[in-house]
Every structure is written in structure tokens, then in C-alpha cells.
Homo-oligomer: A and B are copies of this chain.
Amino acid sequence: MSEVSVARFKGSVRIVGAGLLGTSIGLGLSKLGTSVALADSSPANLKLAIDYGAGKAAQGADQPDLVIVCVPPDVTATVVASELAAFPAAFVTDVASVKHQVLDQLTELGVDLSRYVGSHPMAGRERGGAISGRADLFLGRPWVITANAKSSAEAISAVETVALDLGSAPLKVDALEHDRAVALVSHVPQLVSSLLASRLIHAEPQDVALAGQGLRDTTRIAASDPKLWIQILAANAAQVAPVLKSLELELHGVVEALENIDQPGSLARISRALESGNHGVERIPGKHGTKQTSYAQVVVVIADKPGELGRLFNEVGEIGVNIEELKLEHSPSAPVGLVELYVLPSIEQKLISDLESRGWKIAG
């Protein structure tokens, strides 16, 4: 494991807001020995984050080199402005999911933008709060850095360095470009998933009993926190609305076609929607930037008892094959489970024959 064990960032860090992101940043940096001071408007939150090891309580005499503002989106600009004023020698960044509005508000407030750099670590969990914080939250994730026209090179470098310390991959993007991108890949999917899941509210138990993996996947993020999301969506409404509107228009066409399924053109209209979906999903890069379909799938049937997974993966290790992705598919009430192993296609046959010769049952 090529783990970072010494901080690249040599200064001290102040984190304002000890929620999921603030606590996770504090945990990650503290583990590297960086001096982290934490502040939160809730004493209980603050105490929890400190107990977890995310840093020490901020003191009046602190002279932070970098302030990371991890407060809800709707108060981000205000807090960034007050931090810039309170610590005239510090660089200040924030982690809000929407970047243009914060920059707009700061510009209106007339702050020293040279010391400010927006950022957005592309990491999160369905559950928020200090209690969900973890030092590895940012590992391998993009950390978008939205420098403004006045951001100093030193300020940008400070944020990049901290992002690298947390194991993430810094990525410089314009604030508006960022907002357009996340509207498409994150905010619209969130709303669509919520709207889809809400169809189930009045479903009969025997109906949802037929739910398969497709429904589970499409609605997983519908469990996300509405309080956080309403702020994100409000701040990025200008970018989200047109994408969602385009979806509404096509959805309307599909509904019309379904309502008039026997009329000429109806099937073609639905077909086009399905085919467009095929083309759209192909655009999503998989692991290591490859297409999702580039791995070979090997499905192994295992008994549902302690030790079976261990025995399987131990033997996969002995065979010397690296598993790129895996999925345990557990059937309700079944005494067996299916383990889906994804490997490079070049080693698929070796894995199958070696596993079979060791007595494993390969499905298919």
C-alpha cells in the first residue's frame, strides 16, 4: 500500500464546520501530523469530531495557513468572507458542491479574492454528519479546484497540496463549468432518483417484493439527505433546470407514446429513448478511465456460511489473479450466494479453469 505518511502541506489548517466533509478532512490531515484546528457552531458536533481525532478545538490565538470552510452551501460565502477577514494571512477554500454562486456572492461582498480558491471534493456518502466521517473519504476521488481570476498561485498550490495529502486527485476547472458538469452527473440524477423512488410510497408490499437489482440501483441515492440537497439544488438551479427540462420533454413524448401505443410512430419514439440511453451510458468512464464493459465477469456460486468468501478469495489469491471489481449477489432466502468477479479479459479463462479444478462451481 503506497500510503502517504508525511504531510506535503507544511502549514496549519483550520476547518470550519465539523460535518461529514470537515470531519473527514480533519481525520485525514491529523493522521499525517498536520496541525488541525476545528470550529463548529454546534458544540456537540465539535466535541464529537474532536473525540474522533479530527483535530483540536480552535483557539483565539490560532494563526492558520489554510482555512477550509465545510459549512452548508447557503452560508458558505458568508463564512468564507468572515474567515478571510479574521485571518488576513491565511488562504481560504470551501468544499461546497456548487461553485459559481459562492464566487458571485464573494465578489459582491468585495473580499480579497486572491486568497480565496473554491474547491469541491467529489466524495460523499448517503449519511452525513461527523459520525460518518472517515479519513479515507477522498481516496482516489477527484478534488475539483475552481480558482478565480484573482486567486494567487500560492493559494491554489495550498489547496492542491492538501487535496493530494488526502489521497485525492486535484482537477482544475472553471466554476461555471464545474456547476454545469455536476448538474449533469450528480444533481439531475439525484432528482430523477428521488422522483422515481417516490412512486413506491403507496405501492403494495407484494409489488415491491418483486423489486430486483434494477430498482435498487436506480433508487439508492434517493435515500440522500433532503436538507443538504435542497441547498445544492437551490444554488445550482440555473444549471439543473435546463437539463431536467430536456428530460421532461422527452419523458412527455414517451408518456404520449405509451398512452397511444397503437398509433404510428409510438414504438419508434420509445425505441429512440431506449437506444439513446444505451449511447448515453457508454459515455461514463469506468475504473481507470476504461469502459465499464471492459472486464470479464466470472460468477462463482458459494454457500452462505462463514469462511466461504475467505476460502474463495484466498484461492483466487493463490491463483495470482487480481480482482478489479466484485459484487456479492445475495438472493433472499437462498442458501447460496453468487460472487461476481470482474477481471481483465486476458486472465478470465485461467481463472475459470483454475477455480473449477479447485472444486468451485462457476455459474453459467
A residues apposed to B, CB below 8 Å: 1-3, 27, 122, 124, 132-137, 139-142, 144, 167, 169, 171, 173, 177-178, 180-182, 184-186, 188-201, 203-204, 206-212, 214-224, 226, 229-230, 233-234, 237-238, 240-241, 243-248, 250-252, 254-255, 258-259, 261, 267, 270-271, 273-285, 287-289, 292, 299, 301-318, 320-328, 330-336, 338, 363-364
The answer to whether A214 touches B218, judged by C-beta atoms less than 8 angstroms apart, is no
Residues of B within 8 A of A322 (CB): 304-306
Task: Select one of B169, B216, B336 contacting A1, CB under 8 A.
Answer: B336
Contact B333 A230 (CB under 8 A): no
| A240 contact set on B, CB distance < 8 A | 258
Max count, chain B CB within 10 A of own CB: residue among A136, A173, A271, A333: A136
Count chain B CB atoms within 10 A of each CB in A192, A281, A289, A299 and give the residue with the most.
Answer: A281
How far, in angstroms, from A30 to B144 measured CA to CA in the complex?
A: 55
Q: How distant is A278 from chain B, measured CB to nearest CB, in Å?
A: 6
A258 to B184, CA, bound (A): 14
Residues from chain B with Cβ under 8 Å of A310 in the complex = 310, 312-318
**Is the pair A210, B299 in contact by a Cβ cutoff of 8 Å?**
no
Option from B198, B214, B248, B312 in Cβ contact (under 8 Å) with A248? B248
Chain B nearest CB, measured from A224 CB (Å): 8
Contact between chains at A252 and B248 (CB < 8 Å)? yes
Set B181, B196, B206: member contacting A192, Cβ < 8 A: B196
Interfacial chain B residues near A363, Cβ < 8 Å: 134-137, 139
The residue in chain B whose Cβ has the minimal distance to the Cβ of A304 is B322
Which residue of the partner chain, among B201, B206, B321, contacts A276 with CB atoms under 8 Å? B201
Contact A251 B244 (CB under 8 A): yes
| Interchain CB contact under 8 A, A186 and B214 | yes
- Given the complex, which residues of B lie within 8 Å of A188, measured CB to CB? 196, 199
Give every chain B residue within 8 A of A326 (Cβ-Cβ): 309, 326, 328
Closest partner residue, chain B, to A303 (CB atom): B1
A280's partner among B199, B241, B278, B304 (CB-CB below 8 A) is B199
- A137 cross-chain contacts in B, Cβ below 8 A: 363
Q: Are B195 and A212 in contact (CB under 8 A)?
A: no
Partner of A198, one of B180, B215, B258, B273: B273
- A342, closest chain B residue (CB): B328
Contacts of A331 in B (CB 8 A): 139-141
Are A255 and B248 in contact, CB atoms less than 8 angstroms apart?
yes
Q: Is the CB of A280 within 8 A of B201?
A: yes
Q: Which residues of B contact A1 (CB under 8 A)?
A: 301-303, 335-336
Assess whether B198 is in contact with A333, with CB atoms less than 8 Å apart: no
Residues of B within 8 A of A211 (CB): 185, 284-285
- Minimum CB–CB distance from A291 to chain B (whole Å) comes to 11
9 pairs of residues in contact across A and B, judged by CB atoms under 8 Å: A1-B301, A134-B363, A186-B212, A198-B277, A200-B284, A201-B280, A214-B221, A234-B270, A327-B328
Whether the Cβ atoms of A196 and B247 lie closer than 8 Å is yes
Task: State A259–B286 Cα separation when bound (angstroms).
Answer: 33
In the assembled complex, which residues on chain B have CB atoms less than 8 Å from the CB atom of A214? Answer: 186, 189-190, 193, 220-221
